[in-house]
């Protein structure tokens, strides 16, 4: 509902032939906006969803970023539909390769989702201290995945930087750059440890894995604090 003052203000702006009216389109998450017709007819609609554009232009809405993956077959636990394990697309390949007993010649950005695997299908090096490595893998996702906690914090902080003055922008972006360098170096160590345990049979030393987990959680909290203070 628009009150009388709001209606008057809208009339004053759009009714003046000397001014070009400005409208903001609040589209649904899966809509992609185009300049359409002004008559809103079937032949020239004002709003439309075009299949080549829907859902594939990015965005941070849950409707776009939340997807599902189905695993079934030998070695996969029968969990039914579950949302308890946080994963993203980079985890698909290493998980499938683990089930097939295959490996790539490069380090993956994702990790084998051991929460979905039977014990018999889980590599021995991952079974050793599995609880610790699962927690490390979960922290790694929040540290490195595009829509993990750090990814969300970066969006919040960057938006505040762009909305502020030059000094605010320089301060926030400088802190982001510093934290990002820490994150990148740490994420590289974690994914190599998990990849070697999964595909090369290299058992992670518990003190090292525990130290990496603690470091990951500290870096995540620093990003959280930056977003909260921005």
Q: What is the pLDDT along the chain (230 residues), one digit of tens a residue?
A: 334 333 334 444 444 455 455 566 666 666 666 666 677 777 777 766 666 665 566 677 777 788 888 999 999 999 988 888 899 999 999 999 999 999 999 999 999 999 999 999 999 998 877 789 999 999 999 999 999 999 999 999 999 999 999 999 999 999 999 999 999 999 999 999 999 999 999 999 999 999 999 999 999 999 999 999 98
Q: Contact 33/47 with Cβ under 8 angstroms?
A: no
**pLDDT reported for residue 45:** 73
**pLDDT reported for residue 156:** 95
**pLDDT reported for residue 9:** 40
**pLDDT reported for residue 12:** 42
Instruction: State both tokens at 222.
Output: 């620093």
**pLDDT reported for residue 37:** 67
- Count of CB atoms situated within 10 Å of the CB of 206: 12
Instruction: State both tokens at 144.
Output: 């490195």
**pLDDT reported for residue 81:** 87
> How many whole angstroms separate alpha carbon 198 and alpha carbon 97?
10
pLDDT digits (tens, 9 = 90+) for 100-150: 999 999 999 999 999 999 999 999 998 877 789 999 999 999 999 999 999
Q: Following DSSP, what letter does each residue of the chain receive, concatenated?
A: ---HHHHHHHHHHHT-TTS---------TT-------SS--SSS-SS---TTTTT-S----HHHH-------STTB----S---S---GGGHHHHHHHHHT---SS--SS---GGGB-GGGS-HHHHTTHHHHHHHHHHHHHHHSTTSHHHHHHHHHHHHHHHS-HHHHHHHHHHHHHHHHHHHHHHHHHHHHHHHHHHS--PPPHHHHHHHHHHHHHHHHHHHHHHHH-
Three-point CA angle 222, 225, 230, nearest 5°: 130
Q: Per-domain residue ranges for the chain?
A: 85-229
Instruction: State both tokens at 38.
Output: 């002004």
């Amino acid at each position: 509902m628009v009150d009388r003052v709001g209606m008057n203000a809208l009339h004053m702006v759009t009714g003046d032939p000397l001014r070009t009216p400005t409208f903001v389109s609040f589209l649904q998450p899966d809509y992609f906006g185009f300049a359409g017709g002004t008559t809103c007819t079937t032949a020239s609609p004002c709003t439309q969803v075009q299949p080549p554009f829907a859902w594939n232009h990015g965005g941070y809405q849950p409707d776009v970023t939340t997807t599902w993956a189905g695993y079934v077959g030998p070695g996969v636990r029968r969990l039914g539909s579950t949302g308890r394990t946080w994963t993203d697309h980079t985890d698909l390949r290493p998980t499938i390769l683990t089930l097939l007993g295959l490996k790539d010649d490069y380090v993956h950005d994702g990790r084998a989702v051991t929460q979905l695997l039977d014990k018999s299908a889980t590599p021995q090096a991952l079974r050793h201290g599995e609880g610790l490595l699962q927690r490390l893998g979960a922290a790694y996702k929040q540290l490195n995945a595009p829509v993990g906690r750090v990814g969300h914090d970066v969006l919040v902080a960057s938006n505040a930087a762009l909305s502020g003055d030059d000094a605010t922008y320089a301060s926030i972006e400088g802190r982001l750059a510093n934290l990002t360098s820490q994150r990148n170096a740490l994420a590289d160590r974690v994914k190599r440890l998990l990849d070697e345990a999964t595909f090369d049979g290299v058992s992670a030393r518990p003190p090292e894995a525990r130290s990496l987990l603690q470091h990951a959680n500290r870096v995540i909290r620093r990003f959280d604090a930056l977003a909260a203070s921005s």
